[in-house]
Structure formats: C-alpha cells, structure tokens
Amino acid sequence: MPTLLLLFPLKPEQIEQVRQRIPGWNIVSASDAAITEQQYRNAEIVLGWNAAMDAAFDSAANLKWVQTSSAGVDRLPLARLRERGIALSSASGIHPISMAETLFAMLLAFSRNLHHAIRQQSRGEWRVSERYYQLAGRTIGIVGVGAIGTEMARLAKAFGMTTLGVRKSARPVAEVDEMYGMERLDDVLSRSDMVVNVLPYTDETHHLFNAERFAAMKPDALFFNFGRGASADTAALVAALEQGTIGGAGLDVFEEEPLPSDHPLWKMDNVIATPHIGGWTDHYKTRVTEIFLDNLDAYLSKGQPVRNAVDFDRNY
C-alpha cells in the first residue's frame, strides 16, 4: 500500500479531499500521531518537509515526489533530490496578498512613525516624532517581480507611488512603471525611496545586498527583505543602519532564524522585524491544499506534478 506523508498538517476536511483521490493509499498525518522512522522511509509522496525527513531521506527508497508548503525550496537537499530523480514542487503563488499587506503595514508604520509610537506607548511617553511623510509621490523599487512583487506594485500604485521593477527577464508588468534586468539593479537602487527584495535564494542572490548595494541607495531610503535572509549580508546591513547609509529596514527574513535575542537588529529604532510571518494568513492551508490537489491529480495521471514544478537548474 503506497504511503502519503502529510508533514504539513491539513484540516480533516482537506485530508478527506485527498483521501477521495487516493482511496487505496495509507495517509499518515503529523497532526494524528508521532510519525515512525519506517513511515518516513515508506513514503512515496511527502507534503511538507522537516528535519526527520531530512534524516530519513537516504533510506526513503519509495520517495517519488515532494510538495513543499512554502514558496522557497532552498532548505531542501536539492542536489540529492535531483540525483535520485525525485520530483519537487513548491507552494509558490499563495503568498502575494499576505506578503504585500505585510509590506504595506511596515511602510505605513515607517511613514507615520508608528513603530516609535508603539514603543513610546509601552513606556507611557507622549512624544511627537520629528518626521512624518506620505507614500504618495514616492518611488518604490521591487527586486524580483514575480507574483508577490506584482501584488506589491499593484498596492503601491493604489497609494500613488511610482513603481520600478527588477527581474532577470525584464519583461514588462502592467503594475510596474519601469522594468529593468538585473544589470540595472544599482540604477534602480539609486532612484528608489523604498527598496523591496523578494528574490528567491540561489548562488547568484547570496549576499546580493551587500555594503556596495546599500551604499548605492539613498541615505534616507528604506530596505525591506521579504525574499530570503541570506540574500542580504547581515553585517553589512547592520553597518549601513548604524552609520546612516540607509534610513531604515523592514525585515521578515534573516540569515539566522530565529534571530538571536541579543542581535543588534532587535534594538534599532529604525528597524521593524517580524519572525518570518509575512506570507502567513488564515487562508494558508486552503491555498496549499489547492496546489497539492492539482499536483496530485497530475501525479496520478502523468507521474509528475505540473504546478510550481521546481527547475533544479534554477533551484526554484
């Protein structure tokens, strides 16, 4: 009897939707009980991933397909998956609305100094900040214009902002006023009042935002990281914030997660930090289930997932 391993726990009604498609399968859910080592090894399909799966991977002889519950796949053993011919698909596309709203929560907090007001409120202090501004008329540069970046640009246009975009293909997007290839990144940085990174993590994007890139930005510009933590050099970012090379940062991802409690980023007045929750929403499980069911149908009929199938040459 083939086994499906649900390491990303679904709701009972969602599990039932899965069960109706594979009535003869053994479905093991992390929400039911502790998963045994043998069940990890027996799995033909895995939804999600965890450290135990990583440990059992080499002996998981039946594994044919992994569907992640996240858009990023950089933390999986990609080389070993490719070597064994195991299909991999991601949950790309479920995050645009929640991540764009998280970005604008941060943008509005910075523009109205709400991050300062909240800290002052906890101390019972009545203090007017030195600077308030409006988003209308500002320029936002979005680096990595996929589904998430496009939704961010759409909201930015609604706020009356000018939108600049950067991506490999430089293919135009209706919501972006000007689109450029990666070779024009520094030009976009120099023109932007806010810079948002939503790039996936690859060898090419490792520490893409380094001391030189922060120096290319305006001294009062804000940097937002919603891509992957390692695409920004943390030491260079801290130095840029401390030295006034840039004006502030809104960070949802970090090179080291959880961010250590004694890290200087926690105490900076010009930083808003959230614990990698930018994509989370009360609709998350529903959206993951929709992608998984589409791919399950394709797997059963064609032997391969088709939606968000990962290209191992690009690692996304």
Catalytic residue set: 228, 257, 276
Written as six digits, the tokens of 61 are 């002889």
If phi > 0 it is left, if psi is from -120 to 50 it is alpha, else beta; for residue 160 that is: left
In whole angstroms, give the CA distance from residue 295 to residue 306. 6
Report whether the peptide linkage leading into residue 258 is cis, meaning its omega lies within 30 degrees of zero. Answer: yes
Contact status, residue 193 vs residue 139, Cβ threshold 8 Å: yes
Written as six digits, the tokens of 79 are 């080389």
DSSP letters along 91-134, please? -TTS-HHHHHHHHHHHHHHHHTTHHHHHHHHHHT-----S----
> Residue 180: which residues within 8 A CB-CB, separation 6 or more?
164, 165, 166, 170, 187, 188
Q: Is 194 helix (H, G, I), strand (E, B) or coil?
A: strand
> Residue 79: which residues within 8 A CB-CB, separation 6 or more?
none
How many other C-beta atoms are found inside a 10 Å radius of the C-beta of residue 62? 11
**What's the helix, strand, coil split of the chain in %, to 5?**
40, 15, 45
In whole angstroms, give the CA distance from residue 201 to residue 71. 11
